[in-house]
């Protein structure tokens, strides 16, 4: 069966520090991968979308970047965090072809 | 462009009563619609989807949703609410490029 892992689960970082959140998927190959941010426990904003290694689509201009160095690995990064980067970050994977998304358990980032 | 709207921030219902959580969508082409549930500090869990076929879709935990093309709606329903159904519910639409866009969420409160 397929599983998705995200880490770390929680992170407290000072303004201006770097960020790296990691997501890996097991039990499937060539998944579509997604990073979402959820602010204040409500709506989800699509940040990045990837259909394959090295193929990243950015949805909104921001202080973050994403990379996909391996087929089932998706990394969210920042060189210098802002206060506004605080939030709950969710990684998800899907197969396409009408299928649903499967979400990880999320990473809560607090920037102080 | 595609989007979903959840017009209610919060829905309150008594245990044992039927519940409805509303969703309307805007999409070019055929709609691919989904419902997810989120418990506090957790990732989203898939409930059900509409791709094609019957307008009434049955999903997990006794939930169902009715697709109405003329009203561009995809409301989530359950005949008899449980206290354990209390959570945040999201409607989502998928576009032709496998990108998923989520509504702002509706908090369901089921009172004993």
Span A3-30, pLDDT tens digits: 999 999 999 999 999 999 999 999 998 9
Query: Mean pLDDT, to the nearest integer, of A94-107?
Result: 89
Q: Which residues of A70-83 are buried (b: 16+ CB within 10 A; e: fewer)?
A: eebebbbebeebee
B44: closest CA of chain A, how far (Å): 6
Whether B4 contacts B106, CB under 8 Å: no
Q: pLDDT tens for residues B69-95?
A: 999 999 999 999 999 999 999 999 998
pLDDT at A41 (0 to 100) = 66
Whether chain B has a CB inside 8 Å of the CB on A89: the answer is: no
**CA nearest to B103 within chain A:** A43
**Is A43 in contact with B102 (Cβ distance < 8 A)?**
yes
Nearest in space to B86 (alpha carbons), one of B109, B111, B56 = B109
| Cα–Cα dist A63/A77, whole Å | 9
Residue B20 has what pLDDT?
98
Q: For residues A96 and B98, which has the higher predicted lDDT (pLDDT)?
A: B98
Q: What is the pLDDT of residue B97?
A: 83
Tokens of B25: 């969508």
B15/chain A closest Cα distance in angstroms: 24
* Whole-angstrom distance, CA of residue B82 vs CA of residue B112: 8
């Amino acid at each position: 069966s397929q599983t998705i892992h995200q880490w770390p689960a929680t992170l407290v970082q000072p303004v201006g520090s770097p960020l790296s959140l990691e997501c890996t998927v097991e039990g499937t190959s060539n998944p579509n991968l997604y990073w979402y941010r959820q602010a204040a426990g409500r709506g989800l904003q699509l940040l990045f979308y990837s259909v394959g290694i090295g193929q990243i689509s950015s949805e909104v201009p921001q202080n973050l970047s994403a990379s996909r160095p391996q087929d089932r690995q998706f990394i969210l990064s920042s060189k210098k965090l802002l206060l506004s980067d605080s939030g709950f970050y969710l990684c998800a994977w899907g197969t396409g072809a009408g299928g649903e998304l499967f979400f990880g358990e999320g990473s809560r980032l607090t920037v102080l | 462009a595609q989007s979903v709207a959840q017009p209610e921030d919060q829905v309150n219902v008594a245990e044992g009563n039927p519940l409805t959580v509303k969703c309307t969508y805007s999409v070019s082409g055929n709609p691919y619609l989904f419902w997810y549930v989120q418990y506090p500090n957790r990732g989203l869990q898939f409930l059900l989807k509409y791709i094609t076929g019957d307008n009434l879709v049955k999903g997990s935990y006794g939930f169902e949703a009715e697709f109405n093309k003329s009203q561009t709606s995809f409301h989530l329903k359950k005949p008899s609410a449980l206290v354990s159904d209390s959570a945040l519910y999201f409607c989502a639409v998928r576009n032709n490029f496998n990108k998923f866009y989520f509504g702002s969420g509706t908090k369901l409160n089921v009172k004993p």
